[in-house]
């Protein structure tokens, strides 16, 4: 009778079912995974149980019943922790965590209220199966454990592997070349499951770690030939417009372009930036897209300084801070004797900035220790933007000119906290506190930048400076699409709308130039470096970069997003659909994309995948160590 109970009630089967159900609930209802057809629904339903059965069934190889139970207990606990970390991460970034990001845990200490705002009370339901398994594995150990022969153990393993292979076959049918075209982590999770995705990610991380070892200078020769064929020899009419001037760069945290010339509760959100749009000394780019990935602000810095793409996983600031680069501050120093500095009132190790800035060629980093930070002048992530700029002026005045300085703001950072006395406009009214509070913090940053302009004038630095203001990345994620559609007066936020919301403002203000205008050609953060070097009157023919000078017409005409999506002058491609960029109408849907004669997005995407691949080769292989950029 005892043996029958053992065979009829194995805990590893019950644990697989309970964990599979929980995982499916998270996939289906807590992650915002798009399902387009029945096959995708079926695969999403199957893969949680395939993964959990494969792992829990390993317990049968333990001879002692107590060891079996211990394995199942801790497997359910560790699996739940992995699920929950991904869930919290997804709520913030609408993405899944990668192995390189696990090495960025030093950042977690600075996240504070950001993490707590992502935790929900109903999350407690996710530990119900863990409690059940721990109870049964303790109180019912002898009736829930198994004593299989070697033959049955092998059969159990074979069954779990067959289920896994079946899952992969279905995934390959649904998404051909899934692993070779893995730009989209959602596709991987949707088709093979979160845990198999993490195993794949680990294998991929191991592979890229070896790329530097086996890299050689022949790779760089091929890339340079490609880049030279893509770069225009045309010189902008504005070449040297800001020659010899100080370069002041403001990286505006989470500032999206939809707030420019827009209102909330009847009041302007960004009155000062709106005034710059009409300013005769300002170039405003209204179709300028951020291209950051998991590195967020650090990715936007990487793009602007190097004109290289960010990595598809993790942040180059962390994983490749020891590489050789040919970055903007280094070029300005070598070509025009510029000093350089970064101002950011945050922990110097956040995003590994203290190490990466050295590799980029910066002379000085003014971190949190350079500022007087108190409870009164700080909130959220640290020093408020107004005192941040106020306290920075004295350092600017002491610097030798010409200088290149970068300011990274903090106040307009999720979860967008602001004291009542600092609010000039009231929050929006929607179902999203994040979007509601976003508008007052954007307005605060706008006022801080306006005051900074006045402070530069008072310090005698304004006239001899060029001032660049750039949004670093999105502020409102897809998780708030319902509220965003309400604000924008749309029925819903479509994939096309989502890409358009990745536009961030770019202002290039050249006092006294009188040449300012609104420029509507598509552009991206990768174009910053060549554009600024041209304005500063610096030629750098031997450089290798993927951006274009924004002030010439002979450009490649597309902006590549890190996940393989793109925006061109005529088309927008995302989630397997080719759209007309101007109207948003579908030209070719995902079911017809393999028909090249009818797909105008196809040839552009091929160029983009090649360009992203070349940029990755440079970073992963540290190929600039073979380059001689000096002439």
The two beta strands, 246-252 and 288-289, are unpaired
Give Cβ neighbours of residue 347 (< 8 Å, ≥ 6 apart).
Answer: 109, 110, 367, 368
Place of tokens 């691949």: 613
Using one digit for the tens of pLDDT, what is the confidence trace for 441-475?
999 999 999 999 999 999 999 999 999 999 999 99
CA distance 384 to 371: 11
Q: In the prediction, which pLDDT does 180 show?
A: 61
Contact 473, 292 (CB under 8 A): yes
Classify the C-alpha dihedral 324-365-471-397 as positive or negative.
Answer: negative
pLDDT over threshold 90, residue 270 = yes
Helix (H) or strand (E) holding 242: none
User: pLDDT tens, 548-568?
Assistant: 999 998 888 899 999 999 999
Distance CA 314, CA 332 (A): 28
Q: Kindly give, in sequence order, each residue whose CB lies less than 8 Å from that of residue 589, ignoring residues fewer than 6 positions away.
A: 576, 577, 578
Report phi then psi at 424, rounded to 5: -100, -20
Average pLDDT rounded to a whole number, residues 296-300: 94
pLDDT value at residue 1? 39
As to burial, measured by CB atoms within 10 angstroms (0-12 exposed, 13-18 middle, 19+ buried), residue 139 is: exposed
pLDDT attached to residue 2? 43
Q: Is the dihedral of CA 279, 283, 289, 290 positive or negative?
A: negative
pLDDT, mean of residues 359-366: 96
- Nearest CA-CA partner of 245 in 456, 537, 455: 537
What average pLDDT does the structure give for the chain?
Answer: 90
Once rounded to an integer, what is the mean pLDDT over residues 175-196?
77
Q: Is the pLDDT of residue 534 over 70?
A: yes
Q: What is the pLDDT of residue 101?
A: 66
Q: Calculate the CA 415 to chain-centre distance.
A: 17
**DSSP letter assigned to residue 511:** T
Q: How far is CA 230 from CA 245, 325, 545, 557, 558, in A?
A: 29, 20, 10, 11, 12
Please give the residue that has the higher pLDDT: either 207 or 393.
393
**23/80 Cα distance (integer angstroms):** 9
Residue 558 sits at φ, ψ, to 5 deg, of -145, 155
Provide the 10 A C-beta neighbour count for residue 525.
28
CB-CB contact of 288 with 506 (8 Å): yes
Does 304 have pLDDT greater than 80? yes
CB 472 within 8 A of CB 255: yes
CA angle centred on 355, ends 86 and 384, rounded to 5° = 70
The pLDDT of residue 37: 83
Cα 242 to Cα 32: distance, rounded to the nearest angstrom: 46
pTM, rounded to two decimals = 0.79
Lookup: tokens for 131: 């409690």
Sheet with strand 577-580: strands edge to edge: 558-560, 566-568, 571-574, 577-580, 586-588
**Domain residue spans of the chain:** 2-210, 217-626
Task: Write out the H or E segment, with its range, that includes residue 252.
Answer: strand 246-252
To which residue do tokens 């929900």 refer?
A: 120
Separation of alpha carbons 612 and 309, rounded Å: 7
Contact 627, 325 (CB under 8 A): no
H or E stretch covering 398:
helix 385-398
Q: Which residues have CB under 8 Å from 438's CB, separation 6+?
A: 254, 412, 416, 428, 475, 476
Q: Which of 403-412, 494-503, 535-544, 597-606 has the lowest mean pLDDT?
A: 597-606
pLDDT band per the 50, 70, 90 thresholds, residue 107:
low
The residue among 285, 235, 282 whose CA lies nearest residue 552 is: 235
pLDDT for 498: 96
Encoded tokens for 201: 């990610």
The pLDDT of residue 94? 77
Summarize the confidence of residues 343-371 as an average pLDDT: 89
3-class DSSP assignment, residue 288:
strand
Least confident segment among 62-76, 394-408, 426-440: 62-76
Q: What's the confidence (pLDDT) of residue 212?
A: 83
User: How high is the pLDDT of residue 463?
Assistant: 97
Tell me the catalytic residues: 297
Sequence-ordered strand ranges (E) for 298-371: 339-343, 364-366
Q: How many residues does the chain have?
A: 631
DSSP class of 553: S
**Residue 300, pLDDT above cutoff 80:** yes
Compute how many other C-beta atoms are within 10 angstroms of the C-beta atom of residue 149.
Answer: 8
User: Is there a contact between 442 and 270 (Cβ–Cβ < 8 Å)?
Assistant: yes
Q: Could you give the CA distance from residue 405 to residue 399 in angstroms, rounded to a whole number?
A: 10
Could you tell me the two tokens for 264?
């909330």
Q: Please, what sign has the CA dihedral across residues 57, 63, 69, 72?
A: negative
Cβ atoms within 10 Å of 233's Cβ, excluding its own: 8
Whole-number percent of the chain with pLDDT over 90: 66
What digits encode the pLDDT tens for the residues 588-620? Answer: 887 665 555 578 999 999 999 999 999 999 999
Name residue 341's beta-bridge partners. Answer: 364, 405
Q: What angle do CA 40, 46, 50 make, to 5 degrees?
A: 140
Q: Is 7 a residue whose pLDDT tops 50? A: no
End-to-end alpha carbon distance in the chain: 86
Q: State the CB neighbour count (10 A cutoff) for residue 65.
A: 18
* Model confidence at 110: pLDDT above 60: no
At the fourth CATH level, the homologous superfamily of domain 217-626 is Alkaline Phosphatase, subunit A (3.40.720.10)
Side-chain-side CA neighbours of 423 within 13 Å: the count stands at 16
Q: Exposed/middle/buried for 260, CB within 10 Å: 0-12, 13-18, 19+? A: buried
Is pLDDT of 3 > 50?
no
- C-beta of residue 332 within 8 angstroms of C-beta of residue 534: no
């Amino acid at each position: 009778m005892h043996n029958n109970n053992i065979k009829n009630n194995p805990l590893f089967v019950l644990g697989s079912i309970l964990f599979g159900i929980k995982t499916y609930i998270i996939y289906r209802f807590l992650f915002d995974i798009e399902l387009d057809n029945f096959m995708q629904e079926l695969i999403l339903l199957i893969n949680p149980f395939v993964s959990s059965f494969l792992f829990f069934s390993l317990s049968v190889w333990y001879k002692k019943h107590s060891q079996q139970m211990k394995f199942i207990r801790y497997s359910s606990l560790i699996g739940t922790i992995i699920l929950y970390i991904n869930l919290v991460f997804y709520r913030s970034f609408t993405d899944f965590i990668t192995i390189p990001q696990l090495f960025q845990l030093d950042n977690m200490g600075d996240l504070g209220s950001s993490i707590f705002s992502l935790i929900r009370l109903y999350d407690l339901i996710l530990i119900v199966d863990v409690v059940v398994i721990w109870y049964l594995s303790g109180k019912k150990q002898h009736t829930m454990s198994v004593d299989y022969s070697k033959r049955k153990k092998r059969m159990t393993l074979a069954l779990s592997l067959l289920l896994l292979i079946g899952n992969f076959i279905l995934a390959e049918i649904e998404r051909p070349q899934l692993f070779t075209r893995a730009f989209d982590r959602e596709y991987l999770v949707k088709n093979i499951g979160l845990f198999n995705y993490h195993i794949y990610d680990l294998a991929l991380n191991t592979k890229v770690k070896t790329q530097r070892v086996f890299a050689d200078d022949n790779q760089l020769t091929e890339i340079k030939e490609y880049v030279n064929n893509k770069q225009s020899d045309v010189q902008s009419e504005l070449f040297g417009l800001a020659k010899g001037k100080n370069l002041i760069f403001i990286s505006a945290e989470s500032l999206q372009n939809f707030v420019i010339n827009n209102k909330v509760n009847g009041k302007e959100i960004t009155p000062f930036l709106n005034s710059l749009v009409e300013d005769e000394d300002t170039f405003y780019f209204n179709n300028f897209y951020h291209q950051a990935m998991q590195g967020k602000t650090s990715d936007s810095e990487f793009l602007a300084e190097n004109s290289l793409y960010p990595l598809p996983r993790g942040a180059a600031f962390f994983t490749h801070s020891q590489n050789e680069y040919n970055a903007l501050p280094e070029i300005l120093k070598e070509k025009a004797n510029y000093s350089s500095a970064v101002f950011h009132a945050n922990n110097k190790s956040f995003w590994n900035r203290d190490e990466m800035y050295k590799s980029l060629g910066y002379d000085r980093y003014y971190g949190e220790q350079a500022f007087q930070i108190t409870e009164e002048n700080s909130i959220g992530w640290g020093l408020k933007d107004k005192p941040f700029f106020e306290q920075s002026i004295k350092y600017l005045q002491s610097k030798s000119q010409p200088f290149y300085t970068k300011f990274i703001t903090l106040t307009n950072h999720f979860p967008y906290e602001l004291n009542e006395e600092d609010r000039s406009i009231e929050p929006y009214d929607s179902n999203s506190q994040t979007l509601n509070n976003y508008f007052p913090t954007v307005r605060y940053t706008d006022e801080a930048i306006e005051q900074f302009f006045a402070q530069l004038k008072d310090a005698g630095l304004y006239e001899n400076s060029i001032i660049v203001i750039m949004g670093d990345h999105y502020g409102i994620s897809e998780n708030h699409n319902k509220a965003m559609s309400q604000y924008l007066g749309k029925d819903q936020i479509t994939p096309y709308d989502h890409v358009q919301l990745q536009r961030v403002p770019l202002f290039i203000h050249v006092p006294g130039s009188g040449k300012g205008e609104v420029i509507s050609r598509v552009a991206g953060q990768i174009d910053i470096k060549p554009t600024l070097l041209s304005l500063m009157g610096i030629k750098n023919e031997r450089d290798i970069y993927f951006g274009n000078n924004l002030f010439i017409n002979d450009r490649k005409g597309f902006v590549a997003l890190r996940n393989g999506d793109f925006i061109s002058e005529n088309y927008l491609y995302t989630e397997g659909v080719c759209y007309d960029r101007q109207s948003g109408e579908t030209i070719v849907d995902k079911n017809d994309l393999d028909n090249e004669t009818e797909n105008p997005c196809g040839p552009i995407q091929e160029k983009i995948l090649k360009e992203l691949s070349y940029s990755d080769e440079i970073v992963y292989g540290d190929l600039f160590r073979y380059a001689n950029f000096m002439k």
